Structure 1
Amino acid sequence: MKIIAVIPARYASTRFPAKLMQDLCGKTVITRTYEAAVQSQLFDDVFVVTDSDLIFNEIESQGGKAIKSIREHESGSDRIAEAVENLDVDIVVNVQGDEPFIDTESLKKLIAVFKNDTEGKVDLASLMREIKDESAINNSNNVKVVVDQSQFALYFSRSVIPFAREKNVGVRYFQHIGIYAFRKEALLDFYSLPMQSLEASEKLEQLRYLEFGKRIKMVETTHIGIGIDTEDDLIRAREMWKSNQ
C-alpha cells in the first residue's frame, strides 16, 4: 500500500494574505509544514500542490516536491485530486499547509484505518474531537459530525447536531477536524461528481462524499490543531517553535 501526503497551499487568504510565505523562525510556514510531514516518516512521498509560482518555487528551492495546479478549484479535495490523478498511489493524506505542528499520532490513526480495512469498506477517514462547551457546540464555524455505532459519519453540519430535545441522555457532540485520508478512487470520484444541494447549502465539501454514498470513517482524537490564520497566530507559532527547539 503506497501512502503519500499532499499539502494544498493557496497563496491567497482572506484573513491573512500570503500566510504560508511568512517567516517561521528562519523558514517559511509552508516549508516548515512540508519538512514536518517528511520528518514524520509516515509517508512514502510528500508533495505540496499549489496555485502559486511563489510557493512552488519556495518548495523546490528547499529541495522539496511541488505540483502546480492547472485549474482553479473551489475545494481542497478538487486540488488534491488533480494533483494525484496520474500518480501511482493508494492512500492520499491531506495535511493542512498552515499547521506546521503536525500531530503524528492522529495521522498514524488515520493511516491505520486503511491498513486494518481488509474488506475495503472505507472510502475516507477523518478526525473528530469531543466538544462540551455550549458556545463551541453552538458556533457555526465549528462543523459538527454525528456517527453510527461503527464510527462512520452520518452527517456533518454547521448547525447543532443532534438537537437536544431531551436532556441528560448521554449525547456527545463532536467537532470535525478537517484532516482527511482518502482512497485514490474516492478522491477521483469526488473530482468528477457535481456539487449537490447539501454541500451547496452548508458549504462543506465532505457532504458531497456522503451524498454519493461514500463511507467516511471517523477517528476520535483529543488533538487541537494549531493553524496560522492571523498575525497573532503567527506570533504564537514562533514562540512555540522556539520553545520546542
Structure 2
Amino acid sequence: MRTRILGVIPARFASSRFPGKALASLAGKTMLQHVYERAKSSRYLNDVLVATDDERIAQAARQFGARVRMTREDHPSGTDRLAEVASSEQASLYVNIQGDEPLIDPEAIDAAILSVYGDESVSMGTLKKGIVDPTDIVNTNVVKVVTNLLGDAIYFSRCPIPYDR
C-alpha cells in the first residue's frame, strides 16, 4: 500500500534556453506557482515540494506557500534533482512534475499515479504524451522518450529519436 506520494517540481534559474523561466509571469503569477497550484490540486499527491539550487526560486516559492528543498547546483537534469530529494525525503512514490508546464492538468498527474499505484516496485514516475504536431519531432524544446513495452523509460532526448548522426 502506498503510504506517501510526493510530487517534486525541479526548478532552476539558469536555463540555457530561457533563463529565469520558472519566475516568468503568466496571468499575474509565476510559471512555478501555476505548476505548484495545479499539482496541489491532485487527489493523490500527499505533498508537493519545489526542488531548486537557486535562492531566487526558493524565495518566490516560499512566498506562495510552497515547501522548498535546496539541492546541489551540479545536476544535469530535473530527474537528477528529484533523485537527490528522494535520497533524504521518504516517500513510497515520487512524481516528477515539470516546472515549465503551467497548464498541467491535475487529472493527468492523478492518471500517472494510478498507472503505477499498485506496483510497489515502481518508486518514481514522470508524465509523457504522444507527439501530435510533426514539427515537435525536431523541436529541441520538446523532450522525447523511448520506452520499453511495459512503458518504462529507457532514455530521454531533445533530438529526434532515432537521431541520424
Q: TM-score range, shorter-chain basis?
A: 0.7 to 0.9
Instruction: State whether structure 2 residue 44 is matched by structure 1 residue 46.
Output: no
Cα contact 1:22–1:28 (8 A) shared by 2 = yes
Structure 1 residues 74 and 18, CA gap change in structure 2 (3 angstroms):
same
Structure 1 residues 90 and 38, CA gap change in structure 2 (3 angstroms):
same
Runs (5+) with no aligned partner, structure 1: 162-245
Cα contact 2:42–2:109 (8 A) shared by 1 = no
Instruction: State whether structure 2 residue 148 is matched by structure 1 residue 147.
Output: yes
Residue 9 of structure 1: aligned partner: 11
> Aligned-pair distance for 1:71?
4.2
Cα contact 1:144–1:159 (8 A) shared by 2 = no
Q: Deviations over 1:134-192 (max 9, x none)?
A: 6555x2735252532x444566664545xxxxxxxxxxxxxxxxxxxxxxxxxxxxxxx
In the comparison of the two structures, how many residue pairs are matched?
158
Structure 1 vs Structure 2: percent identity of aligned residues?
A: 36
> Aligned-pair distance for 1:109?
2.1
Cα contact 1:56–1:68 (8 A) shared by 2 = yes
Cα contact 1:30–1:100 (8 A) shared by 2 = yes
**Bigger shift: residues 31-40 or 86-95:** 31-40
TM-score, normalised via structure 2 length: 0.78
Structure 1 residues 125 and 71, CA gap change in structure 2 (3 angstroms):
closer
Structure 1 residues 17 and 112, CA gap change in structure 2 (3 angstroms):
same
Residue 23 of structure 2: aligned partner: 21
Residue 34 of structure 2: aligned partner: 32
Judging by fraction of residues, say which structure has more helix.
Answer: 1
TM-score, normalised via structure 1 length: 0.55
Runs (5+) with no aligned partner, structure 2: none
Q: Deviations over 1:62-121 (max 9, x none)?
A: 222111113421121221121232222111101111111122232222211222226x3x
Larger radius of gyration: 1
Residue 90 of structure 1: aligned partner: 92
Structure 1 residues 5 and 14, CA gap change in structure 2 (3 angstroms):
same
Q: 1:60 and 1:46 mapped to 2: Cα distance?
A: 12
User: For the aligned residues, what is the CA RMSD?
Assistant: 2.8
